[in-house]
A and B are shown apart, each in its own frame.
Chain A
Amino acid sequence: MKYIRNIGAYFIMLFWVIRKPKKMNIFWNMFMNEVQFIGINSIPIVALMSTFMGAVISLQTASNMDSPLLPAYTVGYITQSSIILEFSPTIISLILAGKVGSNIASEIGTMRITEQIDALEIMGVNSINHLMLPKILASVIYFPILIVFSMFLGMFGGFLALVISDLQTTETYILGLRSWFDPYNIFYALTKTVAFGFIIVSVSSFYGYYVKGGSLEVGKASTKAVVISSVVILIANFIITKLMLL
């Protein structure tokens, strides 16, 4: 019953989010701050994760390719497919759910318990729209950029691992990356990313906005935001994949 009520409250919240901002200059400032926070500040973790994971994916693939019937460039192809189809859009989004989601839930939750949201409401500001719309827009615009960045770095990590370890030549690896490349896969990955960005920010904002109590509850809301948004991402991943690839 509680879950059904939460789902209802979540959609009512979305109804109030999607409104024209009252003052565009305030909205623009907040949007740029969120781009900084959600986008730019996430670059180091995305870069680190993508490079090392790309390297590991390529090394593991190479170590399992002991059949002489498989051409050497298969390693590059599998690395490219794994990174574009699943690793960058889904795994990086799950990591961002932890980093960005917990931060958003605790930020909005703290505003709630310190009555800052009440202060906005009393001024006559639509607090849901004011606080959440810049975050949601920043995430749906900037997450795909982060994921494209992650894809490049993942494949570059694979390249470094294979070439430095002297397992493959640069030409073979690049031939693998270019083999059977389907631009639709990029479209599919970025569509997933937009959906995941929306889920992470809206679910985390929801748990922060409706927190009741004190700092302990803010911590719990933050944890819940990460867990629930991760679960929703996995479900959405399955549905989008079924709809777009099969």
Chain B
Amino acid sequence: MISVRNVNKSFGKQQVLFDVSADFEPGRINLIIGQSGQGKSVLAKSMVGLHDVDSGQILFDQRDFTTMEKSERSEIRQEIGMLFQGGALFDSMTVEENIKFPLTMFTKMTKKEMQDRVDFCLDRVNLQGRNALYPSECSGGMQKRVGIARAIAMNPKYLFCDEPNSGLDPKTAIVIDNLIRDITYEYGITTIVITHDMNSVMEIGDKVIFIHQGKKWWEGDRHSIITTDNPEIEAFVFASEFMKKIRVSLKAHNS
């Protein structure tokens, strides 16, 4: 399980996270949602150690990440896979080389074992035979899928996804959501997804944490988020006219 305890984070004089505490369910998809600029990406980046927190604990199965030496962190990081918003694929490498990179760096696999693992990962994200493409030759959706393939190459225990659907059309976004869900359940990964896409929330959110003004404002599941009366969540979830109409019909249906 990943737990965050009383985390505070500032950039200069501006405090971004205020005493955030949360538990992320193991083997499930945990969503961190919220408006832009509320601190959800900072929270996620603090959890993987890209930002050092000012105070608080980040526990990976009771191992406190914040007090570790760089070498100890490196060991935990090999248990983490991360899918970045823009893919973050190494653009000087082919798709195959991108997936092979962590295997070459951290394992003693033979060339044959590595090739099998690359082919397996590409197969898992439905990109068979695309080994020789460069990231610039891939569409946005393909880049995200290669990012997922690279993230799962090392059999991670924890998967972080930073806005996996940004810049994708709704249909491709659902493909990515389904892929994240299938991989999470198939391999028992603890997945944390940062998003503000309500389709993702309704599609894959086992546990939802709402961050507002740098604080954990609410937590629940995807069913309770549409029935809660919390005004900030209502303003976030039912922001568009379309969603407001859904809200009205839901209330009518419930009454």
Q: Among the listed stretches A19-27, A51-59, A63-71, A157-165, which one makes contact with chain B, having 4 or more residues with CB under 8 Å of it? A: A19-27
Report Cα–Cα, A114/B50, bound state, in Å: 14
Q: Which of B87-106 contact A (CB under 8 A)?
A: 88-91, 101-102, 104-106
Closest to A125 in B: B105
The number of chain B residues touching the other chain, given as a range, is 20 to 34
Task: Name B's interface SS.
Answer: mixed
Inter-chain contacts of A23 with B (CB < 8 A): 104-105
Produce 1/0 per residue, A100-121, CB < 8 A to B.
Answer: 0000000000000011101101
Inter-chain contacts of A22 with B (CB < 8 A): 105
Interface centre among A25, A115, A121, A124 (most CB of B within 10 A): A124
Check A115/B84 contact, CB under 8 A, given A23-B105, A124-B73. Answer: yes
Q: Which of A14-37 contact B (CB under 8 A)?
A: 22-23, 25-26
Cβ B84 vs Cβ A119 within 8 A = yes
Cβ A123 vs Cβ B84 within 8 A = no
Closest to A110 in B: B91
Cβ B104 vs Cβ A119 within 8 A = no
Q: How many A-B residue pairs have CB under 8 A?
A: 48
> How far, in Å, is B233 (CB) from chain A's closest CB?
29
Inter-chain contacts of A118 with B (CB < 8 A): 45, 50, 84, 88
Q: Does A1 contact B (CB under 8 A)?
A: no
Check A119/B105 contact, CB under 8 A, given A124-B74, A124-B77. Answer: no
Inter-chain contacts of B80 with A (CB < 8 A): 122
Q: Which of B38-95 contact A (CB under 8 A)?
A: 45, 48-50, 73-75, 77-78, 80, 82, 84-86, 88-91
Of A25, A116, A119, A123, the residue contacting B78 (CB under 8 A) is: A123
Inter-chain contacts of B102 with A (CB < 8 A): 123
Check A124/B88 contact, CB under 8 A, given A23-B104, A25-B104. Answer: no
Report Cα–Cα, A114/B147, bound state, in Å: 13
The number of chain A residues touching the other chain, given as a range, is 10 to 19
Inter-chain contacts of A115 with B (CB < 8 A): 84-86, 88
Check A114/B86 contact, CB under 8 A, given A122-B77, A124-B106. Answer: yes
Report Cα–Cα, A115/B45, bound state, in Å: 12
Report Cα–Cα, A219/B91, bound state, in Å: 19
Cβ B77 vs Cβ A119 within 8 A = no
Cβ B84 vs Cβ A124 within 8 A = no
Interface centre among B90, B105, B106, B160 (most CB of A within 10 A): B105
Closest to A30 in B: B92
Residue numbers of B with Cβ under 8 A of A are: 45, 48-50, 73-75, 77-78, 80, 82, 84-86, 88-91, 101-102, 104-106, 160
Besides A121-B49, A124-B78, 4 other A-B contacts (C-beta < 8 A): A115-B85, A116-B88, A122-B77, A124-B73
